Chains A and B, each alone.
Chain A
Amino acid sequence: MARAARKLKVGVTGANSDLGRLLLPLLATDPRVGELVVFDVAKPEGVKATFRRVDLARVDTDVGHVFEQEQPQVVYHLAFAGTRVHRADIAHELEVMGSMHVLAAASKARLERLVLASTTALYGARAQSPALLGEESHLAGCAGSRFINDKVEVERQFAAFRSANPGIATVVLRFAPLVGPTSDNPVTRWLRTAVIPTLLGYDPLWQALHENDAAEALHRALVCPAGVYNLAADGVMPLSGLVRHAGGRVLPLPAPLLRAVASALESVGRTSVPDALIDYLQYSLVADVSRTPQALGFLPRYTMAEAVSSLHEVRA
């Protein structure tokens, strides 16, 4: 009874990210949450929360100091570059160094729980992978893509943190590519183009997850058992089906031509798939989500087809 009455103080880094925007209202209306603290460079609009300015990308970031002052019980770490930043060094500072600061601060401030939003893309699309990738699978990343590999590095830090701090419950949620009307990430921007070059003769399997389901899962992570969980909408689609549901058309090109087109489009500033990510157009990447529903106590509400179709909502 006493436990139920206790109100949690919850902190969120990267509150202005796609996931942060969706998660904050859920936490703000949750009766278990007593106080909401936002650690970010800008104050998010429309949510009642304490704002503490923290810039994780700076060398002299004072996140440790702020954590100690605020003493949150739970922290959501969502401060990641949602898009591929052309200044890769800045992204690296934010993601790898920033996470390092957050972890150091977390262990110092004696948090009860730390939640990380990650992605299944970290498993890498590889020829050697089994058809379903469980949470224990090796995070192979993607050779040549800093966007992916920086996040793999963050997960490594988290794994080390977990073994060093058994008293702090860490939850890592690996989401399938997020789609939805408000999401803006490399995958949604790519899927919103009308004609999508793909690899001729290949049609790998993909998963996706609706942004609202991802936010809901993060919300559930407030109390779920510690661990690593994959999460994806129900269903698997070949890339061609994914594109079709998103309202686009595939343009299969032979590999050398595709690489040329990709780099040409990239150099003129049109979104496309960079060279390094072509693996994801060639090999399937399907995560095993079988143990997640029980741990989180919920099933994604959107099927994959519904999730991907929701991209239309902004298209029009």
Chain B
Amino acid sequence: MSGKGVLGNDPFKRGAAEPKKAEAAQPAPKAKQLKGEKPMIEQIAEKIAAEAPPPSAPRPRPVLKPVAPKPPPKPEPKAEAKRVPPKPPPPPKIVVPRPKAGDGTPARRAVASFASTPATTPPIPKVTAPERPSQKLSPPQVAAVPAARHIPEAHPGSPTVGADPIPHSASPEARHSPEFHPGSPELKAAFTAHDRSPEVVAELGAKVTTPHAGSPTVVRQRVTEAAVALGAARDTPHDLTRPLLKAAAGLAAAAKAALGLGGGAVDSWGKDEALTQKLHPVGAFLYDRYFRVTVERADRLPTGPSILVANHSGALPLDGPMLQYAVQRERPDLAAARWLVEDQVFHAPVLGVLMNRLGAVRAHPENAVRLLEEGRPVIVFPEGFLGISKPFTQRYQLKRFGRGGYVKLALKLKVPIVPVAIVGAEESMPLLAKLPGGMFGLPYLPLTPPPLPARWRIRFSEAVTVEGSPDDLAYVQDQNDLVRDTIAGMLTAMLGS
């Protein structure tokens, strides 16, 4: 299995464009785990050494007794191996007994909420994506899933969830052994065993509490084994479940907000920062692994306020949030960008509220002025609603660019214009048909498959500085056409390559 092992299927494979990010976002592959063994062992050894002196605290619990019935007086490694009813090879052993306790609810719940959200929210599309990986787990991973189920139980509400995409970065013990769960004797035994001498360990089942440093070699061996086992236990299920749970929570919050039940704090534009944070795992997944967004020449974005002019495409207005996210990712030095949304979307029920909470602002000259005065990059789609309501057969054919309001704005406020081309949205969300949507308060109901995993590319052009009078309509129209042509040219180039 390659490095992309966890999700295992093609659509999720990260392109070569940003290998680094891909790594970071992906659960650490197993192979890597083995490679990284050494540091981890050392960490564990250290931890153990540190814990050895006061071993009495966690020990008194008689938990070990019932589950570890017959510790045969054999050499240590095997003793440990036998403690657990032998099923698969060593690594899973430690994990397997758990499922009974966990009963699998958390993970199931997560999936269930994933499945339920789509019905209500626009981000539905996103939903389908995270779901897939769990269904397509390769056999070994499936075997490990039970272990994943109880993990949330072990750390209810752990704030660190998902914070560490690379598992072995932190000492595993810190997370697992001390408070892993009162009810997991096996794991505990594996760890407490390290600081005991062979004899003592042999009697573990009889609840021996004598602290002992143990001979270095034995300890070392133990640590190695435990590390491998732990690695296996922690590896995939852990990394998959936590982000899934997080993503599910984020989507649920988004659904609530979109229906008008959110109630969170918002800024004066209506953006809900907390919700944005909660949805971050979903956004990162879409951006990194589902649409595999490639951003070209983000360095051309000027510092300070600017007007980003992009082509509008796809049946669902997903290009706004994705471009906003791209700017945030590629240019964290800039003020947070906002995108302007046409009325048809902004005042659409559910969708409009959600977009607003994520940072959309109604397209209105006064709003744009204020955003620019706040020093932000402002994303505009001059094609407006026409851009997203064209059929798939007309994909990437630019519609008229409105009345050039953005040019006037640039002239008035003396801010640069940056043409941007976005490719991928049309293939992700082809508009197949328009169904009547009057009863939902929409101009039409777009018939489109849930966003498909097409690869997205975003290319920034050189910033254009305009100078002149905003009242000179001919000049405004010229500049408007120039920007439009620039974007059309970029689209042609990108589609051709």
Contact = CB atoms under 8 A, between A and B. Distances in A.
Nearest to B267: A236
B364 interface: yes
Q: How large is the interface on B (under 10, 10 to 19, 20 to 34, 35 or more residues)?
A: 20 to 34
Interface in A201-250: 201-203, 205, 235-241, 243-244, 250
Interface in A55-77: none
A241 B263 contact: yes
A171 interface: no
B469 interface: no
Interface string B231-273: 0000000000000000000000000011111111111111010
A130 interface: yes
Contacts of A132: 268, 366-367, 370
A6 to B, nearest CB: 41
Contacts of B370: 131-132
Interface string A27-64: 00000000000000000000000000000000000000
Given A131-B367, A241-B262, A252-B261, A201 B349 contact: yes
A236 B260 contact: no
Interface in B335-373: 343, 347, 349-350, 352-353, 361-362, 364-367, 370
Contact of B261 (A205, A250, A284): A250
B270 A238 contact: yes
A130 B259 contact: no
B353 A201 contact: yes
A202 B367 contact: no
Contact of A131 (B261, B262, B270): B270
B260 A250 contact: yes
A279 to B, nearest CB: 12
Interface string A123-147: 0000111111000000000000000
Contacts of A201: 258-260, 349-350, 352-353, 441
A243 B352 CA distance: 20
B367 A240 contact: no
Interface of A: 127-132, 198-203, 205, 235-241, 243-244, 250, 252, 255, 283-284, 286
23 contacts: A127-B347, A128-B364, A130-B366, A130-B367, A131-B268, A131-B270, A131-B362, A131-B370, A132-B366, A132-B367, A200-B259, A200-B349, A202-B260, A202-B349, A203-B257, A205-B268, A235-B265, A237-B266, A238-B266, A238-B270, A250-B260, A252-B261, A255-B441
Interface pairs A-B: 5 shortest CB-CB = A201-B349, A130-B366, A241-B263, A201-B350, A240-B263
Given A239-B260, A241-B265, 6 more contacts: A127-B347, A131-B270, A203-B260, A205-B266, A244-B263, A250-B263
